[in-house]
A = this chain, B = another copy of it.
Amino acid sequence: MDFRSESPLSIGAPSSVQALVDYKPLRCIVKLGGAAITRKNELERINEESLGSVCSQLREAMDSETTDTPDEVLGMDWSRRPGVSIDSMVDEFGEQPSLVSHSSFVLVHGAGSFGHFQASRSGVHKGGLHLPLVKAGFVATRISVTSLNLEIVRALAREGITAVGMSPFACGWSTHRRNIAFADVSQISSALAAGFVPVLHGDAVLDHSQGCSILSGDVIIRHLARRLLPEYVVFLTDVLGVYDRPPTHQNAKLLREIAVDEEGNWSIVNPKLEHVEKQVEITVVSHDTTGGMETKILEAAVIAKLGINVYITKAGTEHSLRALKGEITDEWLGTVIRSSKKQLHAFTGESG
C-alpha cells in the first residue's frame, strides 16, 4: 500500500500557487501538548523553558542539512518585546541572511492553561450559541487560545522557523456533533508548499448540530494526518508516554510499542505484560478537558492504521529530539503506536 501515490498537496489548493513552489512531501505533524508548553496549574501561563526547548529541538529536527548552528539563526519575530530594543533587531538582519531550508512540518498545539477556563466556565463545548454566556464564552475562548497561538508562533519565529498561525475557526473549519464536518486543508497545503510551517491549535468552532463546540488539537491531528499523510506523527507531552497505570504509581510500566490492526484494535507489543487487557488502566495525565491519554491513544490508533507511526514522548528530552527527527532506536523512551502490518525497523532489527 503506497500512501504517497496521491499528492497530498493537490487537495483543493489553487494550482497556480503550487506551480510556483517546490513540492515537498510532508515529513511530520507535531502535537505540542498543552501540558508540555503551559503551566497547567496557573491560568494562562506559558512554560517558557519547555517551549524554548521544544522550539530549539524543532529547528534542529527540521534542518535536514545542518547540525547545530544557533549563531546563524535568523530570528523572525521583529515585534516589540519587553526589554528588547527594536534597533537590535534591525541590526540583526542588516545583511541578506541565509535561511536553512526546512523540511516540511505542521504543528498543532493544545490549550493547556489557556482557553479551558473560558470554555468550561461557559460550556462552549456543549453548544447553545443562543445563550448569551455561551456566545460570550466562545469569544473569550478564542481570545485565550489565539493569544497562546501568537506566543508560540513568536517563539518559533525567534528560532528561525517560518511559522504562520492558522486558526481552525478562521480557516472555516466546523463540526457536526463535535466531529469534524468541514475542514478544507487547501490553505494549509498552500502554506506548506510555500515553505511555511503552519501552526494550528485547538479552537472554538461552529457546530452544525449544537451551534458551537471545541475542536481539540488531537482531533485536528487525526484529520491532518489523513489528508496530508506525513511520514510520522509526534505527540509531545509532560510524561514519557503511555503507562499501564498512572505514571506516578510505583509499579507503572511505560508501554513502549503498541500495534494497531486493520479493525483499529490495539495490542501492546513491548513490554510483554500478563493479563494485559485487564491491567491497562489508561491514565489521564494531561490537563486537557477535551481528551486525556485515552483519547490520545484512540486518535493515535486511527493514524497508525494509515501506516503512519505515532511517537508519544516527553517534551524537552533527548527522546523528544529523536522522535522529532524520526530516529527511534532501542534506547529511545516513549510510546510508539504503529500499524500491526508495519514493523518498527530499529526495534525489530536490533532486539528482535
Residues of A within 8 A of B (CB): 14, 16-17, 20-21, 43-44, 74, 76-80, 86, 90, 93, 96-99, 114, 117-118, 121-122, 129, 131-133, 135-140, 142-144, 146-147, 150, 153-154, 157, 162-167, 169-172, 174, 176, 181-182, 184, 186-187, 190-191, 194-196, 206, 208, 211-212
User: Which chain B residues lie closer than 8 Å to A137 at the CB level?
Assistant: 78
Q: Please measure, in the bound complex, the distance between the C-alpha atom of A90 and the C-alpha atom of B137, giving whole angstroms.
A: 12
Q: Assuming A135-B162, A211-B194, is B16 touching A176 (CB within 8 A)? A: yes
Q: Assuming A80-B43, A162-B135, is B190 touching A206 (CB within 8 A)? A: yes
Closest Cβ of chain B to A123, distance in Å, is: 11
Q: Assuming A78-B117, A172-B190, A186-B172, is B154 touching A143 (CB within 8 A)? A: yes
Closest Cβ of chain B to A59, distance in Å, is: 13
Copies in the complex: 2
Q: Which of B93, B136, B150 contacts A150 (CB 8 A)?
A: B150
A-B complex: 4 closest residue pairs judged by Cβ atoms? A172-B187, A99-B132, A170-B170, A78-B140
Main secondary structure of the interface of A (DSSP, over half): mixed
On whether the beta carbons of B157 and A140 are closer than 8 Å, the reply is yes
Closest Cβ of chain B to A19, distance in Å, is: 8
Residue of B nearest to A186 (CB): B172
